[in-house]
């Protein structure tokens, strides 16, 4: 009997690609021993391509209504939902149709009815949730939804590498420009500049402003549409990474590199708190102004010892055993006796 996994998430310029990328990371960890399908509403060509490149079949949906999804779900599907629209009523209807239901969450709101709930944010416990008695919780970085390339062996960070910057697949507030402004100020204050390698996603709202910044900041390289392998290479060779408090921050931690993480959205508050409280990174809170951000960059560049302890903490939380944990879980969920 085939082991069938059906993913359901959306990604576009308005909501970014976070939900899609988490599901793809999980699909990749599970591998082709499973029959994997991905239901998504009217995916952009570049999004559909990303899904298909992982060996996952794209199932385009005509709309966001529950019945649009139920029409493609089967009773023997282990179904994975990732999205803020999938509330209790939606989950109950899906669970009544499919074999088992898995929900990927980062909000910790509402009543949960999934068989398994995944939230890879640290410092979350099952007691933070309102859920059914049968719900199993997979919480924290040991269940980090990262692409497989980020589970490579640890290596010492370079001392002369560039600065890596990535604010997510969409960056709707164009925080990338704010970071570039802060870098320019920091370089001026220090009296020295470093190479900057900025990764922007396919839905960036103002690529023209980013490209124009190359006239202001020497040694700025703009990258886009990188594969996971290319992203790993960029992170591995950096002396400092500046990212949003999102999955990309976890990818940097898993690669074991100095990190300055910026909270760019309300739903990143818990992860920002975890990164700071467990000393995995230096964290810039929401609404940090450009001058404050520049100061944090200066400290990270001039005093690397101030961030050295974070590397040891990163190695504790990202232990390289996540893929086998997920495969064991889904083997059980796909079992006829589950």
Which residues are the active-site residues?
A: 19
Structure tokens at 91: 């989950």
Give long-range contacts, CB 8 A cutoff, 24+ apart: 148-151.
148/25, 148/28, 148/29, 148/228, 148/323, 149/228, 149/229, 149/231, 149/232, 150/228, 150/232, 150/251, 150/254, 150/255, 151/254, 151/320, 151/322, 151/323
Q: Is 270 annotated as a binding residue?
A: no
Q: With beta carbons less than 8 A apart as the criterion, state whether 118 and 329 touch.
A: no
How deeply is 279 buried, as exposed, middle or buried, from its count of CB atoms within 10 A (0-12, 13-18, 19+)?
A: middle
For residues 29, 68, 169, 19, the Cα torsion angle rounded to the nearest 10 degrees is -40
Report the C-alpha gap between 77 and 169 in whole angstroms.
29
CB environment 76-98: b (16+ within 10 A), e (fewer): bbbbbbbbeebeeebbebbbebb
Which position has the token pair 């396919």? 202
Which residues have a Cβ under 8 Å from the Cβ of 151 and sit 6 or more positions away?
254, 320, 322, 323
For residues 132, 99, 74, 1, the Cα torsion angle rounded to the nearest 10 degrees is 170
Q: Is 147 annotated as a binding residue?
A: yes
Report the C-alpha gap between 35 and 19 in whole angstroms.
20
Structure tokens at 242: 């500046």
- Which residues are annotated as part of the binding site? 147, 251
- Which residues are annotated as part of the binding site for substrate? 147, 251
């Amino acid at each position: 009997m085939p082991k069938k996994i059906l993913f359901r998430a959306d990604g576009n310029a308005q909501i970014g690609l976070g939900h899609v990328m988490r599901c793809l990371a999980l699909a990749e960890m599970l591998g082709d021993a499973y029959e994997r399908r991905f239901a998504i509403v009217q995916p952009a060509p570049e999004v559909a391509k990303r899904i298909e490149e992982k060996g996952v079949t794209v199932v385009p949906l005509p709309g966001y209504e529950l019945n649009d999804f139920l029409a493609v779900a089967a009773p023997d599907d282990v179904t994975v939902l990732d999205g803020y629209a999938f509330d209790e009523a939606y989950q109950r209807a899906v669970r009544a149709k499919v074999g088992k239901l898995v929900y990927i969450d980062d909000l910790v709101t509402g009543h949960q009815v999934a068989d398994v709930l995944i939230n890879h944010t640290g410092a979350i416990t099952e007691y933070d949730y309102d859920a059914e008695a049968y719900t199993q919780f997979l919480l924290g970085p040991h269940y980090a939804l990262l692409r497989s390339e980020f589970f490579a062996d640890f290596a010492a960070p370079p001392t002369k590498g560039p600065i890596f910057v990535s604010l997510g697949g969409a960056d709707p507030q164009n925080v990338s420009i704010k970071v570039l402004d802060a870098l320019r100020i920091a370089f001026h204050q220090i009296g020295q500049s470093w190479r900057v390698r900025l990764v922007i996603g396919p839905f960036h709202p103002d690529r023209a402003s980013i490209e124009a910044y190359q006239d202001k900041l020497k040694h700025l390289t703009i990258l886009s549409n990188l594969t996971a392998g290319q992203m790993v290479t960029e992170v591995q060779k950096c002396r400092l990474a500046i990212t949003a408090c999102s999955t990309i921050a976890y990818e940097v931690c898993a690669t074991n590199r100095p990190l300055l993480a910026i909270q760019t959205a309300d739903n990143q508050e818990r992860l920002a708190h975890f990164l700071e409280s467990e000393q995995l990174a230096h964290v810039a809170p929401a609404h940090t102004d450009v001058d404050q951000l520049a100061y944090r960059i200066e400290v990270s560049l001039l005093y690397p010892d101030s961030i050295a302890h974070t590397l040891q903490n990163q190695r504790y939380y990202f232990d390289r055993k996540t893929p086998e944990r997920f495969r064991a879980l889904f083997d059980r969920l796909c079992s006829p006796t589950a």
